[in-house]
Structure 1
Amino acid sequence: MAYSEMKRQPRAKVMLPAIRELIVIRALENRDKDRTLLSQELREEIENKFPKEIPPTEETLIKRISEARTKANDPRDDTWHLGIVDKYPISVSAIPYILQIQTLNPTSKISIRRSHWIDVLHTSVKDIALLSDISHYYTFYEKISELAQTAFNTTRFDALLVSQDKQKSLLKLFMEMQKDVEWDTRHRVFKHVTGSEMADIVESIVFRGNIAFGINPFKAEIKLGTKEELLSLCKSNKAIKDSDQIPATDFTLTLSRPILILDGMKPIFIDDISGLKR
């Protein structure tokens, strides 16, 4: 067989798990987007991320998007409360942890699915803040795996539950995985809205003297403008917690809502961009 005949292999009958999961993530992130438009964007993204794979057809992608959106309505994603413990049993010892985590996040309700993971993890992860974050990621990846019909193998996560230091490493791993997903989504949406490739994301700001610098996920600094301008922007968009505690000297500020930076334009908060859901 000639080399030219061997270069393009026929599609395997089973789609790569990573591709199935990507389809589900995009389908849930963009619930209101037209399926045909989303399938075209997904096909391009799959071609870029999996260059050795022949991407699914548009028809297949539309079908997968519809399935993910339909199956997403799982009763386990309803809000947890004490009144349902008979139907969805959990350990009595886990209840105080669930209630404390709910107190930490009063605007975000804990799902039945997440209460299960808090129950599973609470004897290993004693720090409430860590337990809150780690249970969130276990919940997220379990749901994605279910909808994508891929094996939910947590082996590499579980190995990092043995100590608090390793649990912090696990949280960092989860955050990096999430940033890969979120960065790509935010970048694509920003490009769609502005027509520009030059987008960057900022989750914290360093103030030195009267100048503000944004810190992107790669720890690089981006000059944003004056201290007064950025503090005014952040306060007006409620992106600063305890704004009355801001020191007068140089300091680093962690944002409660990330912002996107476009070269030559003013900073914009990600949820101010049409079509993007956090």
Structure 2
Amino acid sequence: MTDAHSLLVERITLGYGDRTVIDDLDLAVPPGRITAIVGANACGKSTLLRAMSRLLAPKGGQVLLDGKALHKLPTKEVARTLGLLPQTPVAPEGIVVGDLVSRGRNPHQRVMSRWTAEDTAAVTEALTMTDTLSLTDRSVDELSGGQRQRVWIAMALAQQTDVLLLDEPTTFLDVSHQVDVLDLLTDLNRSRGTTIVMVLHDLNLAARYADHLVAVRSGRLYAAGDPTEVLTAQTVQDVFGMTSRVVPDPVSGKPLVLPIGRHHAVEGVEV
């Protein structure tokens, strides 16, 4: 279980060059739970996740992993605790699926150490969980976007970290595979206690699968908490600039966002 691990963002400011993207943001990630980060395009969601994974150094503030400044910890120490699936990962040219997923075991390898039965079991389990075992010998270059995304998720799972960060893990996936991936992450959370933080575009999937919902607006924290409390019509209006109705999801009981555009509203029905 991962309740012993904590991930805390303290007054962090992030940016690129002279442009500030995240400004003085605080965020406490609930250990052993699933957190989803939502917000409009270019609000800073992915930038925040990059800092939480040590890919981007803060201009101000800090990220703390188990009470220690993340950006000052040794790389392998971080990689054994915290895994990342970035938004646009790039595979080495010509690499086959099995070899790519096996790279998830690198943080567990010592100098001159041999590949172990434990490593093989971790890779096989990750491939099986993501339904990519049949692709083991295929070149990653030959795969569809959806297959490639599941292979990257398999590599992250093979790393077997207690904290897993994913930037839009459902990208390129059709609806059924989106649900499969989110079900898989839920299984991982429930069976191993893995702390999961993911950026999602789909508000309804975020509300359904997250224990903790974080809404970011223009580089600042707008709201964080239980999805039922965070995802309201006012939040959708303020964060996304969209009029909507929010009703209980008949499947999960979580909030369900019904966008209201300029067309298709039924006459006489209050919106």
TM-score, length of structure 1 as denominator length: 0.30
TM-score, length of structure 2 as denominator length: 0.31
More helix by share: 1
More strand by share: 2
Larger radius of gyration: 1
